[in-house]
Every structure is written in C-alpha cells, then in structure tokens.
Amino acid sequence: MNLEALKLALAASPDNIPLLLMVAKLHEDQFELLDARNCLDRVVQLQSDHPEALLGIARLIDMAGETSEAVVRLDALCAMKPDFAAAWLLRARIALDEKEAQAARAYYDKAVALDRSVADDELLAAILKAGGGKRSAMTANGPIEIDDDDDNDDDDPLFTGMDAVTARELDLEFRVKADIRFEDVGGMDKVKEDIRMKIIHPLKNPELFAAYGKKPGGGVLLYGPPGCGKTLLARATAGEINASFFSIGLHHVLDMYIGESEQKLHKIFELARKAAPSVLFFDEIDALAADRRDMRQSSGRGIINQFLDELDGSRSQNDGVLILGATNAPWHVDGAFMRPGRFDRLVFVPPPDGPAREEIARIHARGKPLVDFDPAQIAKKSEGFSGADLKAVFDLATEAALTEAMKKGALVPVGGKMLLNACKDVKPSTRKWFESAKNYALYANQSGFYDDVLIYLGLKK
Ligand SMILES: Nc1ncnc2c1ncn2[C@@H]1O[C@H](COP(=O)(O)OP(=O)(O)OP(=O)(O)O)[C@@H](O)[C@H]1O
Ligand SMILES: [Mg+2]
C-alpha cells in the first residue's frame, strides 16, 4: 500500500474519513505516531464520537507509554459504546501488558462474545500462558476446549495409523460434512464457474488436464464483503467433489510456542498431500497470511514464510492438492501469496444482484411455514443486502410471527408482509466494506487485482 498515493488522495479530499483512517493506520505501522495521531484527531474533529478514531488514539497513547491515560480514554469509550468489541480487546491487551491475566481474560471474553471476528488466537494464547483461566475459549472458528486430555479414539476410515493420529492431533475437520451443494448457494454463477474450472474439473478429469499439459494445482482466493457466501460456497465445494476436503482455521495452526505453528502448518500440508486428491481450505486467510510488513512480531513472519514454502511445494509435490482461501480483507494478505502457483486466481464474490437475492430468499424460505411469499418483491426491497442480511430478514420475520403466535396462543405462519417489514429494519451491511475497498482499489491496485471491485462500482469498464 502506497502511503504517498494515499496522501495525495487525502490532499484532494481532506475530509474523507475512511481515507484518514487508512493513512493513520499506515503511519502507525511505520511507527510515525505523531502523523497517525494528527489524522485521527482530524477524524474526531469531523465526528467527535467516531469510535475507530477514538480507539486508535487510545492505542497510540498506549504505544507512547502513557498507559494510564490510554486506560482512562478506553474506559470512556467503552462506556459510550459498550458493544464495541475492538475497544474491549485493546483493554485485554493492556491488562495483559500490566500482568493482570485474569482481567485480560475477562475483557477478551467480553470482546469475543460481542464479535467473534475479533478473536485473536495469539493474544488468547498469551493470556492463557500468563495464567488467565483454563476453561474453554472462543476462537475465530468457534469454541475450543483449552485443557484437552485427548481420549476420543473414534477411528477414522479415511486415515489409518499415523495419519489418523496426526489428523486427530491437529483436530482437523477434514471430513467437512458434504451436506450442502452448489444448489444451496444462491446466485454466484460466475464464481461457481470459476471454482468448477479451477477445482472441480481438474479433480474429476486429471487425465484430460494432463493431456493439455496442465497440472491441477495453485489456488483460488475468494474475497468480498462479509456475509456474501464465501464460507458457504467453500463448504458447498466440499459437497460437489469426491475428494478429501480439509477446512483449516486459525486455531488449527497457531500455537502458543514459537516454532510449533510452522510445524503444524507443515503437518497439515503433508496430510493433504498424502490424501491427494484433496482440497485445503483456509478461511479468513488474512489472519494467517497477514502482510509481513504489518507484523511487529517475528513469530508471525515465520508462519508466513512457512506457508509460502508449503504452497510452492519446495519440499514435496503438491500435485493434486488444491488450495482454496477466503477473506474479506485481501489487502491485508501478504502480496507474496498472489504470485503464480500460489493464490493465482483472485475471485471477487460480490453482493447478490436482484435475481440472486430472489434465489437466496427461496433458499432461506425452504421448510418454513410461509403465506403470501413473494421472493421477487423481497429482492426488490433488499438492494445492497448480503446473503447474511437476507437471512436476518427471515429471522426477524420469524420472530414477529412467533410473538403473534404467543399472543394468540395458536400457530401463525410467517407472512409476506412480515418479511417486507423486516426488509425495512435490516440495514444493508455491504456498503461499509465498499468504502474501504474502493480506496484500496483506487490507490493500491497493483497488477489490477481489484479491477473487479472497480467494475462492480462502475468506476471501470
Ligand atoms: N449466496 C447465498 N445463498 C444462500 N445463503 C447465503 C448466501 N450468502 C450468504 N448466505 C447466508 O449468510 C450466511 C453467512 O455467509 P458466509 O458465512 O458464507 O459469508 P462470508 O462471505 O464467508 O462472510 P465473512 O467474510 O464475514 O466470513 C450463510 O451462512 C447463509 O445463511
Ligand atoms: Mg466467512
């Protein structure tokens, strides 16, 4: 990301809050704390209660060593916006630095309860190591038990002997339930076609590909706004193929001991190679493959270098191992991952268009007691909605029906009206993503990676 280009953009549009925040972040990354502070102060001038800016200021103050002032400001921020997970997470970090492991754990749990996506397995590991509680904890991929005396011995038919032990030891969900298929994912025809070409056909017809001198391999990285079906589509891919599908989350890889994470990552790749043909799916890959320049800790760099090494198959062959990744922050993924042979296909998963929203509404409606259900009308009233937003519409309408049913003491079906009303209450969640994506696409679009975003926004043909 080019700071100079962003500064130029900022000169042209000095009150652009997303831009100010991005420039602040870049300054912070380079430890230009004063410059970062100036940008954030400007944001607060423009909008006095801007939570991200206030949080950023508290973090800068903490970095400058004024911990108690940082805590006071954080307290105020948490009081003003108690559901702001990132603020609680910073409190957890500061508490850990202050050697208050129990308090750190409480703040950490609070943050993750508010928003699972802030889960930070490295921080959690550090808190646990410092003595912050032993019970189960929440990671980015769901709850995990911390003290696992591993005695479940269910034998797995896919792997025998050593492999079964390794798979269990790594706690991999390699048999992702093939319970959903492409037909359960609405819209996305182009993305599905990309996955067919790059993953499904090569697995099904290896000879054909060989005849054209092509080896199946390389990787596909799905990116796009949250809630638009990236994870869902990956799961559906598992349902479309007859091959081992390994779903890897951060907690499978990160280990609290330096050097162990690299080993784990290596074991995961080895397992996939033995099981070939296989698909390795890395969800929320930005967390594992974060830009090395963003990292202050050298341990993170080790994982990335290992990851690159494994992708290149420099130690062993990756034939028949296909890699799928998903992220909603591709700009945080280290550029080295995008080189040929690695994630060489970047696939944009846009918000669903009208017909896709209609299809998604039909999918969400399956098996529900509905009357006057008009998917076309819902599609019309849900401009800018993600698939997850549409799911929220159904959840809200179902709640409304339940409330009425309880009042009446009789079953009330979910009505078309309830659904349309719910459309008014749900706010489209994809716009915010496009605000940042647009800046990256305009000012950091190396090799045209984000052209699809610009085309989607109508800024490029
Ligand atoms: N195309 C779709 N068809 C049907 N349901 C969808 C679709 N897109 C999203 N949904 C619904 O929204 C939920 C969230 O989608 P998913 O987790 O796949 O989003 P994501 O793109 O991975 O988001 P994130 O970037 O936040 O991880 C799904 O479980 C599903 O219920
Ligand atoms: Mg996801």
pLDDT-based confidence at residue 369 (cuts at 50, 70, 90): confident
Percentage above 70 pLDDT, the chain: 84
pLDDT-based confidence at residue 365 (cuts at 50, 70, 90): very high
Check pLDDT > 90 for residue 230. Answer: yes
**Ligand 1: which of 232, 281, 282 to mutate, most ligand atoms within 8 Å of CB?**
232
The pLDDT value recorded for residue 154 is 38
* 209-218, Cβ contacts within 8 angstroms, sequence gap of 24 or more: 215/319, 216/277, 216/319, 216/320, 216/322, 217/318, 217/319, 217/320, 217/321, 217/322, 217/341, 218/322, 218/323, 218/340, 218/341, 218/342, 218/343, 218/344, 218/345
The pLDDT value recorded for residue 103 is 85
Check pLDDT > 60 for residue 40. Answer: yes
* Token code pair at residue 277: 């043909």
Q: From ligand 2's centre to the CA of 284, what distance in Å?
A: 6
Using a 10 angstrom Cβ sphere, with 0-12 exposed, 13-18 middle and 19 or more buried, the burial of residue 170 is middle
Indicate which residue's Cα is closest to atom 26 of ligand 1.
226
Report yes or no: 225 and 438 within 8 Å, Cβ to Cβ: no
Pairing between β-strand 137-139 and β-strand 278-282 as defined by DSSP bridges: unpaired
Q: Convert the pLDDT of each residue in 373-431 to its tens digit.
A: 999 999 999 999 999 999 999 999 988 988 888 888 888 889 999 999 999 999 999 99
Give one DSSP letter per residue of 204-270, joined into a string. H-HHHHHHTT-----EEEEE-STTSSHHHHHHHHHHH-SSEEEEE-HHHH--SSTTHHHHHHHHHHH
* Token code pair at residue 274: 């033995």
Report yes or no: 178 and 279 within 8 Å, Cβ to Cβ: no
Which residue, among 279, 158, 267, 270, has the nearest Cα to 216 in the 3D structure?
279
Q: Convert the pLDDT of each residue in 269-285 to its tens digit.
A: 888 888 877 888 998 88
Q: Across the chain, how many H-helices and E-strands are there?
A: 22, 9
Q: Convert the pLDDT of each residue in 311-342 to its tens digit.
A: 887 555 787 788 899 999 888 888 888 887 78
The dihedral formed by the CA atoms of 192, 329, 343 and 311, expressed in degrees to the nearest 10: -130
The pLDDT value recorded for residue 296 is 53
Q: Which amino acid is at 177?
A: K
Q: From ligand 1's centre to the CA of 428, what distance in Å?
A: 14
The pLDDT value recorded for residue 225 is 95
pLDDT-based confidence at residue 350 (cuts at 50, 70, 90): very high
Structural domains present in the chain = 3-138 (1.25.40.10), 161-348 (3.40.50.300), 354-425 (1.10.8.60)
Helix or strand (DSSP H, E) at 271:
helix 260-274
Q: Is the peptide bond before 277 cis (omega within 30 degrees of 0)?
A: yes
**Counting atoms of ligand 1 from 1, which one is nearest the CA of 359?**
3
Using DSSP's 3-state secondary structure scheme, residue 192 falls into helix
The pLDDT value recorded for residue 300 is 66
**Counting atoms of ligand 1 from 1, which one is nearest the CA of 328?**
25
The dihedral formed by the CA atoms of 413, 417, 421 and 423, expressed in degrees to the nearest 10: 90
Indicate which residue's Cα is closest to atom 9 of ligand 1.
387
pLDDT-based confidence at residue 163 (cuts at 50, 70, 90): low
> CA separation (Å) from 197 to 200, 220, 280, 304, 318?
6, 11, 17, 28, 18
Q: pLDDT higher for 449 or 222? A: 222
Pocket of ligand 1 (CB under 6 A): 185-188, 226-232, 326, 328, 352, 360, 363, 387-388, 391
Identify residues whose C-beta is under 5 A from ligand 2, the ion: 230-231
Computed over every residue of the chain, the mean pLDDT equals 82
**Ligand 1: which of 177, 181, 228 to mutate, most ligand atoms within 8 Å of CB?**
228
Indicate which residue's Cα is closest to atom 6 of ligand 1.
387
pLDDT-based confidence at residue 129 (cuts at 50, 70, 90): confident
The pLDDT value recorded for residue 91 is 93
Q: Convert the pLDDT of each residue in 106-125 to its tens digit.
A: 888 889 888 888 888 888 88
Q: Looking at residues 192-214, what average pLDDT do you find? A: 81
pLDDT-based confidence at residue 177 (cuts at 50, 70, 90): low
The pLDDT value recorded for residue 433 is 93
Question: Residues 80, 16, 22, CA angle at the centre, nearest 5°?
Answer: 75
Q: How far apart are CA 393 and CA 264, in angstroms?
A: 41
The pLDDT value recorded for residue 172 is 61
pLDDT-based confidence at residue 38 (cuts at 50, 70, 90): very high
Residue 259 CB neighbour total at 10 angstroms: 11
**Counting atoms of ligand 1 from 1, which one is nearest the CA of 225?**
25
Q: Looking at residues 222-232, what average pLDDT do you find? A: 93
CA 100 to chain CA centroid, Å, is 30
Q: How far apart are CA 294 and CA 279, in angstroms?
A: 29
Among 65-79, 99-113, 295-309, 347-361, the range scoring the smallest mean pLDDT is 295-309
Q: Which amino acid is at 333?
A: V
Check pLDDT > 60 for residue 98. Answer: yes
**Ligand 1: which of 231, 250, 282, 324 to mutate, most ligand atoms within 8 Å of CB?**
231
Q: How far apart are CA 250 and CA 300, in angstroms?
A: 12
* Token code pair at residue 71: 């805590």
Among 40-54, 56-70, 131-145, the range scoring the smallest mean pLDDT is 131-145
> CA separation (Å) from 240 to 225, 326, 412, 427?
24, 18, 37, 33
**Counting atoms of ligand 1 from 1, which one is nearest the CA of 188?**
1
